[in-house]
Chain A
Amino acid sequence: KQEVTQIPAALSVPEGENLVLNCSFTDSAIYNLQWFRQDPGKGLTSLLLIQSSQREQTSGRLNASLDKSSGRSTLYIAASQPGDSATYLCAVTNAGNMLTFGGGTRLMVKP
C-alpha cells in the first residue's frame, strides 16, 4: 500500500527566504507526482505535475524535483512571499489511478 509522507508538517519563514518542502513515498511504481496548494477551507490548486520519467518541473518561482528510485520529491520555493502562505500537498498516482496524498506542509510566510 502506497504511503506518502511530508516533512515538515509546518514551517514558518520570513518573507524573501528560499525554502524546500519534502515529500517521500514508499512505492516507486508511480505514474506521476503532483504538488498542490490548498488555502484554508478551499479546494486544491495544482502547482506542478512531474511524470515518472521526468526529473524536475519548473513554474515561476516553483521548482519540483523527483527521484523515483529513492521515493523522494522536493518542492523549492524561491523568494517566498506572504501570498505563498498555504498548505502544500504532494500526491502520487500509481496502480488504480488514484491519488495518494501526503499529510501536507502548512507554510506561513511572515512579512
Chain B
Amino acid sequence: KAGVTQTPRYLIKTRGQQVTLSCSPISGHRSVSWYQQTPGQGLQFLFEYFSETQRNKGNFPGRFSGRQFSNSRSEMNVSTLELGDSALYLCASRLLVQETQYFGPGTRLLVL
C-alpha cells in the first residue's frame, strides 16, 4: 500500500498570503489528522477529519481551517499568513482510533 502523501513538500509564502496544503491518506483510512511542528512548540494537533466531518480541533486561530473530501483526501488552509506560521505541517491517517497513526513526509512552509 502507498503511504500517506503530502503536497507540496516545500512552500515559501509572504505575510498576508494564504496557503492550501494537501494530504492523501493510506487507502481505506477515513481518519485524517493534521499537526504543526515548530522548534519552539513541538508537535501540536490542528484538527481531525473523519468521513468528511471535523471531529476535533486543536487550539489554533480560525485562520487555520480544513476539509475532507469523499475520497478521504484532505486539505488544510491557512489564511493571512504570519511569520509564526512557518513550520512543518504533518498529516496522519489511521483506520480506527485504537490503531496506529501513519504520518506523511510533511510540508515545510516558510513565511517571509
Contacts and interface: CB of A to CB of B under 8 A. Distances in A.
A89 interface: yes
Interface stretch (B14-22, B68-76, B77-85, B99-107): B99-107
A99 B33 contact: yes
Contact of B105 (A43, A97, A101, A102): A43
Contact of B100 (A34, A96, A100, A104): A34
Given A96-B56, A99-B33, A99-B45, A43 B97 contact: no
A31 B98 contact: yes
A103 B58 CA distance: 17
B98 A32 contact: yes
Contacts of A51: 98
B33 A41 contact: no
B42 A104 contact: yes
Contacts of B56: 96-98
Contacts of A96: 56
B48 A43 contact: no
Interface string B39-67: 00011110010000001101000000000
Contacts, number: 57
Interface residues of A, number: 24
Nearest to B106: A43
Nearest to B45: A98
A42 B106 contact: yes
11 contacts: A43-B90, A43-B105, A46-B101, A46-B102, A46-B103, A91-B43, A93-B97, A98-B33, A100-B45, A101-B35, A103-B42
Nearest to B88: A41
Contacts of A32: 98
B101 A34 contact: yes
Contacts of A99: 33, 35, 43, 45, 92, 101
A44 interface: yes
Interface in A39-70: 41-46, 49, 51
